[in-house]
Structure 1
Amino acid sequence: MEKSLKDLNAIKEVKDANLLSPLVLAYMGDCVYEIYVRKYLICKYGNIKVNDMHKKATNFVKAKAQAMAVMALKEELDEAEWAIVKRGRNQKSCSMPKNAQASDYRYATGFETLIGYLYLNGLEEKLEAVIEKSIELIENQIQ
């Protein structure tokens, strides 16, 4: 029997995010990270053109930036969190952006896997700490 959007339990919680595939976690992590980046940019720049906002957002969501961030955060992650990054990094994906190096793309997938894992497990404090530090690291590299 399929669950519908009316079934709030299907929306509110995932029974065991640890059992989800790394690419499913990365799928969620990509979305969550994008929301935080957009909120950050709106708070920082306010009412600028949406196209300009999108251009700024790409600096934060591109594979090279995410790979740099997750590598810089390695020492701040516990063993279980780094294991999640490695699970995501080691997944085979059907596609890879033409403007990304393979190693950057793999670590970016690991980063997104970590974000999805933290989000779906309700680890909000750690999630926000990882995202805030990542945005700070990327922002400093852009300037």
Structure 2
Amino acid sequence: MTKAIDIMSLNGVTLAYMGDAVYDQVVRHHLLELGLEKVNDLHKTATTYVSANAQAFILFRLIENDMLTNEERAVVRRGRNAKSGAPPKSADVQTYRHATGFEALLGYLYLNEENERLKQLCAQAFSFIEQRDGKV
């Protein structure tokens, strides 16, 4: 028997840990659907979707377009305000925290089994990145 997870008691960094894994897998699947096959190309393209800068950009676009519910905004704040490790060299602290908020949201949706909403937000994220990079 597996232990039930009390999602509301998880801190933002823990939600982001889950969200990072979920988003990475969804991005990889998306890239295969786009027809990419060479591992080097897959890795290079994946970074345009999963970097802290890209995730912060996505979050800002979701907020700017009023695409998050109040509950989702609260989860983002939990992730953004959580004490986490040092940001990667490629991002400043503020960008890293916003990226953590985005990942926390995805982790929360995944653990709550809100799969349709998760798919919807990921599809929107891909659209934002591809429009930004001129791929659409």
Q: What TM-score comes out, normalization by structure 1 length? A: 0.87
State the shift of 1:139 in Å.
1.2
In the alignment, the residues of structure 2 paired with residue 19 and residue 142 of structure 1 have an alpha-carbon distance, to the nearest angstrom, of 38
Q: CA deviation at 1:121?
A: 0.5
- Partner residue in 2 for 1:28: 18
Matched, 1:61 2:55: no
Q: Distance in 2 between matches of 1:87 and 1:140?
A: 28
User: What secondary structure, in the 3-state scheme, does the structure 2 residue paired with 1:73 have?
Assistant: helix
TM-score with structure 2 setting the length:
0.92
Q: Which ranges of structure 1 fall in alignment gaps of 5 or more residues?
A: 1-6
Unpaired runs of at least 5, structure 2: none
Shift of the alpha carbon at 1:15? 3.1
CA contact (8 A) 2:53 2:95 kept: yes
% identical aligned pairs: 44
Is 1:73 paired with 2:62? yes
Structure 2 match to 1:88: 79
Partner of 2:132: 141
Moved over 4 A (4+): none
Larger radius of gyration: 1
Deviation at 1:64, TM superposition (A): 1.0
Quote the Cα distance in structure 1 between the aligned partners of 2:73 and 2:8.
14
| Structure-2 separation of matches of 1:27 and 1:53 | 22
Q: Which structure 2 residues correspond to residues 124-135 of structure 1 after superposition, within 5 A?
A: 124-135=115-126
Give the CA RMSD over aligned residues.
1.2
Secondary structure of 2:5 counterpart: coil
111-120 or 131-140, larger mean C-alpha shift: 131-140
